[in-house]
Amino acid sequence: NAGVMQNPRHLVRRRGQEARLRCSPMKGHSHVYWYRQLPEEGLKFMVYLQKENIIDESGMPKERFSAEFPKEGPSILRIQQVVRGDSAAYFCASSPSSGGTGELFFGEGSRLTVL
């Protein structure tokens, strides 16, 4: 049973470009969380999704950031018109049910560098 798969592992973008980060949850998991981690800092919640629904996006910046988890395919975190401050590691986690009682399984992260 493959773990949470994130790609790309490393992504370099110039300011103003778009970044798309993909996350395939573990098989059988229908809940996906995205977190951002700046160097030497902790994980910051961004968004919690179930299939075809955004459940909680309270940690997501209001502009330029969007997330989706379609019925088929991976969850996508999209950052439009990237700026240098978007450089960070973005982690995806999945759980079979809402994470309140279950364990979160994390991917290895996607490291975005904005030049």
Partner 1 sequence: KNQVEQSPQSLIILEGKNCTLQCNYTVSPFSNLRWYKQDTGRGPVSLTIMTFSENTKSNGRYTATLDADTKQSSLHITASQLSDSASYICVVSAKKGTGANNLFFGTGTRLTVIP
80/98 Cα distance (integer angstroms): 28
> Of the two residues 28 and 42, which places its CB atom closer to partner 1 in the complex?
42
Smallest gap from residue 17 Cβ to partner 1 (A): 24
Residue 12 interacting with partner 1 (CB under 8 A): no
* 18 is an interface residue for partner 1 by CB under 8 A: no
Q: How far is the CB of 28 from partner 1 (least distance, A)?
A: 17
DSSP string, 68-97: E--SSS-EEEEE-S--GGG-EEEEEEEESS
With H, G, I as helix, E, B as strand and everything else as coil, classify residue 73. coil
- Which residue among 12, 18, 41, 73 contacts partner 1 (CB under 8 A)? 41
Task: Compute the chain's Rg from CA coordinates.
Answer: 13
**Residues near partner 1 (CB under 8 A), total:** 26
Q: State how far Cα 98 lies from the chain centre.
A: 16
Residues that bind partner 1 (CB under 8 A): 4, 33, 35, 40-45, 48, 55-56, 58-59, 91, 93, 98-101, 103-104, 106-109
